[in-house]
Amino acid sequence: MSAATLLLAAVATLGVPPDATREIEHLRDYLSESDCAFYRNGTWHDAARARKHLDRKYRHLVARDLIARAEDFIARAASRSETTGLAYRVRCGDAAPVDASRWFGDELERFRTDARRWRPFPARGGEEARRHERLWSPCRLAHAVRACRSGTGPGR
């Protein structure tokens, strides 16, 4: 990407909360990195072309301050045509096509579940760091339960 493109992307998402921006970027990447076809207005498109189209819609919606959550992106940009009102569909390999809203929604749910599971460690100090240590200490992890119970686990 050029510096101008990166600058435009940064300015375009200023009003979108950081968590939503991360989730939406993931959904857009998930589409463009897939081998799936995207059905829009009566025609199947490859993932790269679909990504470009959704990027344009996303920038348009952000400029009008209509995106605050990843669910807004799915509902307003990735689910149906504004022109025809027809639902977008996604077809991956030989699988039957599914509504794009479901396809993106399922991936968003999976992404959020993974993010909670592998949450990064917060900055040192403060209540959040102490809470994180209690929840994610080695003794809380399933593979370390036996060592923790015996008193030989990490941090003992």
Q: Mind giving me the DSSP string for the chain?
A: --HHHHHHHHHHTTTS-HHHHHHHHHHHHHHHTS-EEEEETTEEE-HHHHHHHHHHHHHHHHHTT--SSHHHHHHHTSSB-TTT-PBPEEEETTSPPEEHHHHHHHHHHHHHHHHHHTPPPPPSSHHHHHHHHHHHSGGGSGGGHHHHHHT-STT-
Is 104's pLDDT higher than 90? yes
Is 92's pLDDT higher than 80? yes
With cut-offs at 50, 70 and 90, classify the pLDDT of residue 129: low
Both tokens of 22, joined, read: 């991360």
Domain boundaries, given as residue ranges, for the chain? 3-118, 123-156
Which is it for strands 89-92 and 98-99: parallel, antiparallel or unpaired? antiparallel
Q: What is the pLDDT of residue 154?
A: 47
Is 150's pLDDT higher than 60? no
For residues 25 and 78, give the distance between their C-alpha atoms in angstroms, rounded to a whole number: 13
Q: What is the pLDDT of residue 15?
A: 82
Cα dihedral sign, 14-16-22-26: negative
Please state, rounded to an integer, the average pLDDT across all residues of the chain: 80
